[in-house]
Amino acid sequence: MRGKARKPAVSALCAALAAALLILGSMLPTGKIAFSAVAGLATAAALIECGYLYSVFEFIVAAALGLLLAPSKAPAVMFCLLFGWYPIVKSLVEKLKSRAAEYLLKFAVILAVIGVFFVLVRLSVGELSLPDHSKLVVAGAAVIAFFAYDFCFSGLIRVYIRRVRGRMK
């Protein structure tokens, strides 16, 4: 595929793949988080192949399709909350020269996502009757899981660039 149609076509294919993964994840009894995270790889592929603008479009289309078509909205909501847009932010943050600033920004991102999650839970189900220390434990576990995800995601992006990208052209 060459010319002006390549970037929109690749971006649309990535959006369709992400939406299919979100729909599949909503149909299976387990793996909702895993399918949401894997759908984020489609955003990373759109970013690598097409650039920032098309990856933003891919995220918006995939999120909308996931929210509209998936029987269970949990994977699509997780995609919207973190896994869909994070590859774009990760790419921008990792351009910083300072490693400390990079990790501080990533830490701020996950804290913001956790805050939004708790607000959404409160709005949808009301106040959780959990002690404050258990909310801190959940937040701490989420931060640890996020940095493990970030590390693994970086490895998958390297594999994509080395093995898949050359075959896409």
The CATH number of residue 17's host domain is 1.10.1760
- In percent, how much of the chain has pLDDT > 90? 65
pLDDT digits (tens, 9 = 90+) for 19-64: 999 999 999 888 888 999 999 999 999 999 999 999 999 999 999 9
**Does the global pTM surpass 0.95?**
no
Residue 29: which domain range? 3-168
Q: With 80 as the cut, is the pLDDT of residue 78 above it? A: yes
pLDDT digits (tens, 9 = 90+) for 111-125: 998 888 878 877 877
DSSP string, 87-149: HHHHHHHTT-S-HHHHHHHHHHHHHHHHHHHHHHHHHHH------HHHHHHHHHHHHHHHHHH
Total count of domains within the chain? 1
